[in-house]
Amino acid sequence: MVNYYSILGVEKTATQKEIKKAYRRLILKWHPDRNLDIKETAKKKSQEINEAFRILSDEEMKEFYDKYEEHEERNRGQNKTHCEGCKRDVHREGKVPKKCGMILKAVNELEDLKDMEKHIKETIKKAKIFNEQKKNGIGSERNGWIQELKNLSDWSLLSETLQNEFIEKTKKCRNADRFHKVLDEIGKLREKEGGNDNLAELRAQNDIKEAPSKEVILDNYQNLANILKQIKELRSTNAYQEKEAEIKALETRLQELDPSQYQKTSQDLLEQQIKSNGLTENNMDEETKKAVAEAKQDPTNPVKIAQAEEKIAQNGTDNKLNSLITQSLNKLKKGNLTKKEKEEIINEFTSFIATDNKYKKMAYQKQKQKVDALLAQLQGEENQQETPPMA
């Protein structure tokens, strides 16, 4: 049997500190790079030193080794049929008793188990760290993706229901590819609804559909006024026209609850619509100014209020188209527009024109000649760019 104590040059009673000190001294002494002339011998010696230290530096393995060595010492050189240590019959001529062999096997098994246990613990530790990092990373990444959604130019045009739906989908994304699929869904929705303006109308439809389903206290003036305020923000959409009967019933109920308060509410709602349509004293046409003035003088008159709202909605839409025409002409005057820039301008006009919104239709009819000429110019230049010169 290999005597590990002898290899390290220490007594069996040596402490762990003494064992470690002896190991360091010997491993340096017999390092192959320091014994080039006897490199193979030094290499073998170093392996023995490492093996001895591996066993003796581990308290459990050292205990098993000591028991095994003790059993072997008791039977060495004796022609016995009984082991003093394990109290079992053994072979003659000093062969290792069965129990002593089992101890050595246990040492090796323990060593394997300890290595396995150590490996498992390290693996679990690494896995926990990795999972935590991945979890934090994904969490941080998801927060970034959600913020990216909210920064989209048309995000505010989506209904609250759709916004929550896309946020929930983003929370479940485990990688960027899945998040890009969410963005693609929003893009397809935009294309399906015909651009940002029609997304606003889609939101209007959802909001107006949801409004009656909300819990309403019919005797609470402020509650009803807040609902009407939200609906009036959608005055220029088709969805508003479809719910006109319900909206008139809501206005009538407000008048019944508090006639004097309703006058102020009606005037405030007109101001709100003027602002939401981007109208000011400078860009409001005379017909709209007159209709608004008459409605404010008689805010409980439903006919005058409706006329003023119609004028405001149409004036605001007309101004949007005029602004789009002016911006596009200025870009063309500067010249050197890329194909992508021209396509973007064409798409803006197309999304404005290709709609069932009556205010947009009327605005287009007023400016049809200018818009068609502008589109023809843009499309013509685009075709010239794509057509190769004749040889």
How far is residue 47's CA from residue 376's CA, in Å, rounded to a whole number? Answer: 88
Strand partners, 89: 82
pTM: 0.47
Which amino acid is located at 171 in the chain?
A: K
How far is residue 208's CA from residue 204's CA, in Å, rounded to a whole number? Answer: 6
| Contact criterion met (CB below 8 Å) for 170 and 179 | yes
Q: Check pLDDT > 70 for residue 37.
A: yes
The domain locations on the chain are 4-122, 133-193, 202-384
How far is residue 239's CA from residue 357's CA, in Å, rounded to a whole number? Answer: 10
Give the DSSP H or E segment for 171: helix 160-171
**Mean pLDDT over residues 254-273, rounded?**
89
| CA 78-80-83 angle, 5° bins | 100
Q: Tell me, what's the pLDDT at 389?
A: 41
**Which range, of 40-54, 159-173, 210-224, 281-295, averages the lowest pLDDT?**
210-224
Q: Tell me, what's the pLDDT at 126?
A: 64
Strand partners, 82: 89
User: pLDDT band at residue 82, thresholds of 50, 70 and 90?
Assistant: very low
Please provide the average confidence, as pLDDT, over all residues in the chain: 76
| Contact criterion met (CB below 8 Å) for 65 and 111 | no
Phi, psi at residue 97, to the nearest 5°?
A: -60, 155
**Which range, of 33-37, 88-92, 115-119, averages the lowest pLDDT?**
88-92
Q: Check pLDDT > 70 for residue 295.
A: yes
Q: Check pLDDT > 60 for residue 377.
A: yes
**Mean pLDDT over residues 67-74, rounded?**
62
Q: Check pLDDT > 90 for residue 302.
A: no
Q: Tell me, what's the pLDDT at 297?
A: 92
How far is residue 289's CA from residue 279's CA, in Å, rounded to a whole number? Answer: 10
CA distances from 93 to 1, 70, 96, 101, 123 (A): 15, 17, 9, 16, 48
We find that the CATH architecture of domain 4-122 is Orthogonal Bundle (1.10)
User: pLDDT band at residue 340, thresholds of 50, 70 and 90?
Assistant: confident
357: left (phi > 0), else alpha (psi -120 to 50), else beta? beta
Q: Tell me, what's the pLDDT at 304?
A: 92
Q: Tell me, what's the pLDDT at 225?
A: 84
How far is residue 240's CA from residue 69's CA, in Å, rounded to a whole number? Answer: 96
Q: pLDDT for 239-258, tens place per residue? A: 677 777 778 888 888 888 88
| Contact criterion met (CB below 8 Å) for 38 and 47 | no
**Which range, of 77-81, 107-111, 324-328, averages the lowest pLDDT?**
77-81
How far is residue 320's CA from residue 156's CA, in Å, rounded to a whole number? Answer: 19
Name the CA dihedral angle for 53, 56, 58, 59, rounded to a multiple of 10 degrees. Answer: -160
For residues 242 and 366, which has the higher predicted lDDT (pLDDT)?
A: 366
Q: pLDDT for 173-218, tens place per residue? A: 877 788 888 888 877 765 554 444 555 555 555 554 554 444 445 5
User: pLDDT band at residue 308, thresholds of 50, 70 and 90?
Assistant: very high
Q: Check pLDDT > 50 for residue 350.
A: yes
